[in-house]
């Protein structure tokens, strides 16, 4: 919908949001009206170079033509039904995901936090049924982030994070250990522990990739103790890090892995994939969803995966991530650049806040996000080129120098 077709002004739209919506977001002062490729356009047609990608969602580009076509075609057939009849897009997507990443079973959800909820529930039910009522504890990483529903935010090892403050006691059954510290995780495990749950790259924690020693060590630890390894790949999955899934960098496989964001190419969808043995924990009535595996979202996901794989955007993410990160290291006031593929974090030395840098970039029509006080995070569409990287670097450099 275009602003000119509404009979309203831009200020009218902003006033409606202010009057009627419960706001938990810091709004940018423009209306996102259209998008294409590497750019988002406001109500005046002003282009914004998009290194946000809807928060790592639009990996094959904003409004990818094949994804759009798949959505339109599916809407002409069926938009929604409940999960009792079979639907073709859902079945085809299940096959595509499982065969592509080498997992046995899939369960569809609507978002990343719901996928993590399902992963937590499956692991706990597996533990209780196999070992007894005490076996449901999960060890997660300090400074991790797993979502905003109650189970997933309880798994989030950030007690001072706004997502946990003011809600009372968290869901019991979680213990926290230091990320990239295998001994800390080993010490946190007890006879009640059924699983270890981590992100291969901590995103909200400041863009910290797992070391190979750490993640491979967790796999070995879980195997030794009969525990499950749960990987949260909501943000890292589907080519973002230079591999189809981030765990493929490490030569391991999880028992359950969650995914969302890039999977749907802009349509809401999430999922967990599990081994056949662990998937047996979910039986009739133990979990459910009205919209999970929605036909339109599933059709979009099939098109998005085809684009990601046929264009080898994982390789482009690795190449452009290395190129861009090397340039970013030459920015003034940079303390460290951390990345895996095109999940990139730039930590500054505190000369200005990351929020200040974000807003200065916004003024110059570059979209980035701020993590904590000093980290700027970038997750651009994976179709980006060296020219796009050079443009973003030039804007960031101007922003830092002006601040």
Q: What pLDDT, on the 0 to 100 scale, is given for residue 210?
A: 98
Domain locations along the chain? 3-60+312-402, 65-310
Residue 287: DSSP 8-state: S
Q: What pLDDT, on the 0 to 100 scale, is given for residue 52?
A: 96
Asked whether the predicted pLDDT for residue 104 surpasses 90, the reply is yes
Contact at 8 Å (CB) between 14 and 30?
no
Calculate mean pLDDT across residues 309-325: 98
Q: What is the CATH number of domain 3-60+312-402?
A: 3.90.1150.10
- Give domain 65-310's CATH architecture: 3-Layer(aba) Sandwich (3.40)
Structure tokens at 20: 């009627």
- pLDDT 10s digits, 5-46: 999 999 999 999 999 999 998 899 999 999 999 999 999 999
- pLDDT 10s digits, 106-119: 999 999 999 999 99
* Radius of gyration of the chain measured on its C-alpha atoms: 21
Q: What pLDDT, on the 0 to 100 scale, is given for residue 163?
A: 87
Q: How confident is the model at residue 159 (pLDDT cuts 50, 70, 90)?
A: confident
- pLDDT 10s digits, 190-238: 999 999 999 999 999 999 999 999 999 999 999 999 999 999 999 999 9
Q: What pLDDT, on the 0 to 100 scale, is given for residue 161?
A: 83
Phi, psi of 11 (to 5 degrees): -65, -35
What is the average pLDDT score of the chain?
97
Residue 125 and residue 170: Cα distance in Å, rounded?
19
Q: What pLDDT, on the 0 to 100 scale, is given for residue 162?
A: 84
Q: What pLDDT, on the 0 to 100 scale, is given for residue 399?
A: 98
Structure tokens at 105: 């079973």
Which positions ≥6 away from 232 have C-beta within 8 Å?
116, 119, 144, 146, 197, 198, 199, 257, 258
Q: What pLDDT, on the 0 to 100 scale, is given for residue 139?
A: 98
Is the pTM above the cut of 0.95? yes
DSSP element (H, E) containing 308:
helix 295-310
Calculate mean pLDDT across residues 245-266: 98
Q: What pLDDT, on the 0 to 100 scale, is given for residue 160?
A: 82
Calculate mean pLDDT across residues 84-101: 98
Output the CA–CA distances (angstroms, integers) from residue 158 to 176, 205, 328, in the order listed: 9, 9, 28
């Amino acid at each position: 919908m275009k602003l000119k077709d509404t009979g309203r002004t831009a200020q009218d739209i902003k006033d409606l949001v202010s009057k009627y919506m419960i706001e938990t977001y810091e709004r940018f002062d423009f209306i996102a009206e259209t998008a294409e490729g590497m750019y988002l356009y406001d109500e005046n047609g002003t282009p914004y170079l998009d290194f946000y990608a809807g928060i790592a969602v639009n990996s094959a580009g904003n409004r990818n033509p094949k994804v759009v076509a798949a959505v339109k075609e599916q809407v002409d057939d069926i938009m929604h039904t409940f999960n009792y009849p079979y639907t073709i897009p859902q079945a085809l997507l299940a096959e595509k995901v499982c065969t592509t990443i080498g997992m046995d079973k899939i369960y569809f959800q609507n978002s990343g936090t719901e996928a993590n909820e399902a992963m937590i529930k499956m692991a706990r039910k597996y533990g209780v049924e196999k070992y007894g009522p005490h076996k449901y504890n999960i060890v997660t990483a300090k400074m991790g982030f797993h979502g905003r529903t109650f189970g997933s935010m309880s798994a989030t090892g950030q007690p001072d994070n706004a997502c946990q403050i003011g809600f009372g006691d968290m869901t019991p059954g979680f213990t926290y250990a230091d990320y990239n510290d295998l001994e800390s995780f080993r010490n946190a495990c007890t006879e009640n522990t059924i699983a270890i749950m981590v992100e291969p790259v901590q995103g909200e924690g400041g863009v910290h990739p797992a070391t190979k020693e750490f993640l491979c060590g967790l796999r070995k630890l879980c195997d030794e103790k009969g525990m499950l390894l749960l990987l949260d790949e909501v943000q890292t999955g589907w080519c973002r890090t230079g591999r189809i899934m981030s765990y493929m960098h490490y030569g391991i496989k999880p028992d359950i892995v969650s995914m969302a964001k890039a999977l749907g190419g802009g349509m809401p969808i999430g999922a967990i994939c599990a081994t056949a043995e662990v998937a047996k924990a979910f039986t009739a009535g133990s979990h459910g969803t009205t919209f999970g595996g929605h036909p339109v979202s599933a059709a979009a996901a099939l098109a998005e995966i085809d684009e990601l794989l046929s264009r080898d955007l994982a390789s482009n993410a690795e190449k452009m991530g290395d190129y861009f990160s090397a340039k970013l290291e030459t920015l003034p006031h940079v303390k460290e650049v951390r990345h895996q593929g095109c999940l990139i974090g730039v930590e500054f030395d505190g000369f200005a806040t990351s929020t200040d840098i974000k807003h200065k970039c916004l003024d110059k029509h570059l979209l980035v996000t701020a993590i904590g006080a000093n980290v700027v995070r970038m997750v651009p569409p994976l179709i980006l080129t060296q020219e796009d990287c050079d443009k973003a670097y030039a804007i960031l450099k101007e922003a830092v120098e002006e601040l």
